[in-house]
């Protein structure tokens, strides 16, 4: 209405038919772009991680037609059956919890978005956001109420806002409820890996795998990963230290947050330092493009690690933003602690030989993400992205 009246004032307020039609056309044009920009979107109150002040962010509706998941119920298969559906280098989300291991191919979870599971007696929701390149798993229990999630229709900062059966909605990136009677509550996060099928299968030979049957055989978002578009609602990062589609592994430990860029981890695949008061071990297995973080403490002792076997770079003419690419003849990277010389599998933290055989390093809740999303949810977090010989 404002634009229409301004156009008529500009024409001398004579209200000629041609002027009125032009005013209507101009108004509709402006309204269209304001809607695309999210000007009319509902604002939701939320608190960013490690912040106290409440902010109000746009709850944006997904553009275009709603995508539907495969109609067939989800099926889990054994590794031999999975070998018939997956290539060794296909990406999967791996979860190991309560002694149970399961893998979720990006091709399968990319169209389903979530999987409501039980590991032992614990309800867990496995989630994947291709738009922000974020794999998350949460214990689906808030205030002794078991949660059950469905497909999302809206986003905040391009992260899915997952609807729950009680009509509350939770942000996939952080597990925070922003609407409904659960608003303000936080689901507890558990560790996940984003790795290759061959790497996960070698580490967990008894794993179950979500079948791709009934859906696409490959990840339909591969082109999106490699292009320059920052989300379905383009949202350039405010922090310009990295490109929007650069991938990071983020940690948030007791209020201290830090992101490790994959570019840096490829060149420095073993980083041991303190985050706040907590010791952390960050590893990057190049052969499977797997970034993971552990606590290096075993039996009250902080172990120091170094590489034991080769950790060769991937060789590929085509490499996506996430660092993925074809590499035959996968060989797991092994590390060893300097105190006892025990051998540990890098991507799982399992000791397979030596004094500590049978022990596992406690995996931390590392969060993969595109930089444009991480830098919005964690705007004040540290970033490790340059090689040691580069200036900050």
Q: What is the pLDDT of residues 51-70, one digit of tens each?
A: 989 999 888 888 766 666 67
What crossing angle do the helices spanning 2-10 and 17-36 adopt, rounded to 10°? 140
Q: Would you identify the CATH topology of the domain 76-210?
A: Rieske Iron-sulfur Protein (2.102.10)
For residue 280, list its beta bridge partners: 273
Give CATH 2.102.10 domain extents, the chain.
Answer: 76-210
For the stretch 336-369, pLDDT in tens is 999 999 999 999 999 999 999 999 999 999 999 9
At 40, the pLDDT band (50, 70, 90 cuts) reads: low
Q: How far is residue 385's CA from residue 392's CA, in Å, rounded to a whole number?
A: 9
Which of 223, 141, 144 has its CA nearest to residue 190?
141
| pLDDT greater than 90 at residue 203 | yes
Q: Measured between alpha carbons, how far is residue 129 from residues 136, 189, 225, 259, 281 in Å?
A: 8, 15, 11, 18, 26
Residue whose pair of structure tokens reads 């303000």 in the numeric block: 184
Residue 392 pLDDT? 35
Looking at residue 122, its pLDDT comes to: 95
Residue 381 pLDDT > 60, yes or no? Answer: yes
Taking the CA atoms of residue 149, residue 150, residue 155 and residue 156 in that order, the dihedral angle to the nearest 10 degrees is -10
Residue 104 pLDDT > 70: yes
Rounded to whole angstroms, the Cα distance separating 349 from 347 reads 6
Cβ neighbours of residue 140 under 8 Å, at least 6 residues apart?
A: 116, 123, 124, 125, 146, 147, 148, 149, 187
Residue 196: left (phi > 0), alpha (psi -120 to 50), or beta?
Answer: beta
* Mean per-residue pLDDT, 74-85: 95
Q: What mean pLDDT is predicted for residues 110-127?
A: 94
Q: Is a pLDDT exceeding 50 seen at residue 227?
A: yes
CB 257 within 8 A of CB 251: yes
Rounded percentage of the chain residues whose pLDDT exceeds 90? 71
Instruction: Name the strand (E) or helix (H) holding 344.
Output: strand 343-345
Query: Is this structure's pTM higher than 0.75?
Result: yes
Q: pLDDT-based confidence at 199, cuts 50/70/90?
A: very high
């Amino acid at each position: 209405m404002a634009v229409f009246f301004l156009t008529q004032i500009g024409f001398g307020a004579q209200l000629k038919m041609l002027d009125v039609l032009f005013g209507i056309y101009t108004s509709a044009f402006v309204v269209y772009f304001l809607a695309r920009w999210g000007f009319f979107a509902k604002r939701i109150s939320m608190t960013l991680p490690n912040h106290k002040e409440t902010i109000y962010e746009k709850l944006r509706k997904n553009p275009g037609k709603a995508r539907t998941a495969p109609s067939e119920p989800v099926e889990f298969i054994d590794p031999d059956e999975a070998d018939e559906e997956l290539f060794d280098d296909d990406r999967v989300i791996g979860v190991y919890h309560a002694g149970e291991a399961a893998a979720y191919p990006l091709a399968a979870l990319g169209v389903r978005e979530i999987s409501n599971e039980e590991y032992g007696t614990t309800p867990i929701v496995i989630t994947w956001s291709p738009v922000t390149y974020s794999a998350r798993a949460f214990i689906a229990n808030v205030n002794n109420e078991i949660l059950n999630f469905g497909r999302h229709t809206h986003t905040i900062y391009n992260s899915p806002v997952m609807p729950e059966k009680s009509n509350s909605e939770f942000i996939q990136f952080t597990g925070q409820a922003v609407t409904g009677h659960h608003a303000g509550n936080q689901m507890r996060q558990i560790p996940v890996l984003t790795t290759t099928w061959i790497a996960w299968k070698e580490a967990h030979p008894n794993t179950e795998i979500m079948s791709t049957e009934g859906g696409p055989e490959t990840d339909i978002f591969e082109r999106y990963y490699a292009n320059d578009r920052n989300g379905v609602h383009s949202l350039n990062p405010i922090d310009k230290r990295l490109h929007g589609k650069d991938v990071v592994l983020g940690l948030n430990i007791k209020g201290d947050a830090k992101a490790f860029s994959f570019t840096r981890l490829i060149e420095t695949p073993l980083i041991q330092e303190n985050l706040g008061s907590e010791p952390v071990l960050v590893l990057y297995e190049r052969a499977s493009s797997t970034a993971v973080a552990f606590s290096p403490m075993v039996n009250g002792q902080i172990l120091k690690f170094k590489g034991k076997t080769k950790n060769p770079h991937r060789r590929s003419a085509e490499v996506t933003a996430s660092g993925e690419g074809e590499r035959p003849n996968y060989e797991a990277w092994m590390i060893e602690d300097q105190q006892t010389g025990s051998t540990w599998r890098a991507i799982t933290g399992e000791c397979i030989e030596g004094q500590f055989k049978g022990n596992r390093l406690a995996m931390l809740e590392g969060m993969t993400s595109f930089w444009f999303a991480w830098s919005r949810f964690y705007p004040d977090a540290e970033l490790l992205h340059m090689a040691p010989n580069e200036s900050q």
